[in-house]
Amino acid sequence: MAIDRCSLVRRHNPVLRSFDPRSPLSIGNGEFAFTVDGTGLQTFRARYEESVPLCTQAQWGWHSFPSTGKEEALQLEDYDAGGRTVRYATRSSGQQETFARLRRNPHRLNLGAIGFLFSHPGSPQPEPESIENPYQELDLWTGVILSRWCVSGAPVMAATCCHPRRDAVSIRAESPLFAAAMVGVEIAFPYGSPEMSASDWSSPEQHCSETFESGPRLLGIRRTLDATQYACFIHLGSGAVARRNGEHSFLIHASPGKERLSIVVEFSPRADPREALWSEEVEAESAES
């Protein structure tokens, strides 16, 4: 008797019905990973920083603080190991700066945070408690996270997945809030940090987010953090419009009257030309993989 592998795998699909900072879902391809909250994106990242941070990371994504020119060779401490001397980096006294630098550099880099940005007139950005009826399921057979929820009575659906061979995350969302220009998708970039969140949001002057033309429906952003450089490419779906929303943030919204928004956000260690990607294409590639 043949095994129905699809049904067997989907029997174990993880399902979340609340915002739990200790158990967010992640998607990836083995070289790139994207962790989300209950909205399907990284909308409420501040709530997760002390538990399981919502990060976007790649194997090539590392950052080091610039040298101060004061570092000296690290002095190792001698230990007796069965009659022979073994030296370890265990002593910081007298060499605090060198010791701290070697322990903190290089560190993993959060390449960027992607979340929903609400723009209710006269209302603040909602908190997780404002999200109604959250339901989120990771389809293990296709690698797609489907998230459904409501805010202020309006339904929102988001499908999120990663490309199997490119460091790219696909976002396809539907809601009447898009048509009313009350919600968009924000991409924000932090400075590097050795902390668990791999993000420093308090040092905007220490990094640069420069745009460059990449092609039709493709916005390129060149990122520079000290000696670290990489690029972010925003592949805009039909009707999607991107604009700068701050020194290190960009907002993507739907055309007036459209309830659907689809984009693909790709990261690369090089700012070379990118072949266009579409959400439907990435979802199909993810499922096939």
pLDDT, tens digit, 9 for 90 and up, residues 191-242: 999 999 999 999 999 999 999 976 778 999 999 999 999 999 999 998 899 9
pLDDT at 68 over 80: no
pLDDT value at residue 120? 65
Nearest of 244, 236, 238, 239 to residue 186 by alpha carbon: 244
User: What are 31's two structure tokens?
Assistant: 């070289």
95 pLDDT exceeds 80?
A: no
Residue 101: predicted pLDDT: 79
Supply the pLDDT for residue 69. Answer: 67
Give the whole-angstrom CA distance, residue 35 versus residue 24: 7
pLDDT for 259 equals 96
Q: How far apart are CA 101 and CA 67, in angstroms?
A: 9
CA atoms within 13 A on the CB side of 62: 8
Checking phi first, is residue 249 left (phi over 0); if not, alpha (psi -120 to 50) or beta?
Answer: beta
pLDDT at 121: 59
Count CB atoms within 10 A of the CB of residue 127.
Answer: 11
Which letter does DSSP use for residue 259 in this model?
A: -
* 103 band by pLDDT with thresholds 50, 70 and 90: confident
Question: How high is the pLDDT of residue 207?
Answer: 98
Range list for CATH 2.70.98.50 in the chain: 5-63+108-288
Average pLDDT, stretch 267-278?
92
What number is the average pLDDT over the span 88-110? 82
Q: Please choose, from the candidates 237, 224, 226, 239, the residue with its C-alpha nearest in 3D space to the C-alpha of residue 269.
A: 224
Residues 6+ apart with CB under 8 A from 282: 161, 162, 163, 168, 170, 264
State which amino acid sits at residue 181.
Answer: A
pLDDT bin (cut points 50, 70, 90) of residue 178 is: very high
pLDDT at 71: 62
pLDDT per residue as tens digits for the range 23-34 = 999 999 999 999
Mean pLDDT of 246-272: 95
- The per-residue pLDDT of the chain, averaged, comes to 93
Reported confidence tier of residue 273, pLDDT bands at 50, 70, 90: confident
Give domain 5-63+108-288's CATH architecture.
Distorted Sandwich (2.70)
In 3D space, the residue among 153, 147, 143, 139 whose CA is nearest the CA of residue 174 turns out to be: 147
Q: Express each pLDDT in 124-149 by its tens digit.
A: 788 999 999 999 999 999 999 999 99
pLDDT of residue 100: 75
Cis peptide before 194 (omega within 30 of 0): no
Angle at 175 between CA 174 and CA 177, to 5 degrees: 140
Flag the least confident range among 29-43, 90-104, 150-164, 186-200: 90-104
Please state, in angstroms and rounded to a whole number, the distance separating the CA atoms of residues 104 and 195.
9
| Mean per-residue pLDDT, 150-161 | 96
Of the pLDDT bands very low, low, confident and very high (cuts 50, 70, 90), residue 1 is confident
Q: Is 5 exposed, middle or buried (0-12, 13-18, 19+ CB in 10 A)?
A: exposed
Q: What percent of the chain has pLDDT over 70?
A: 97
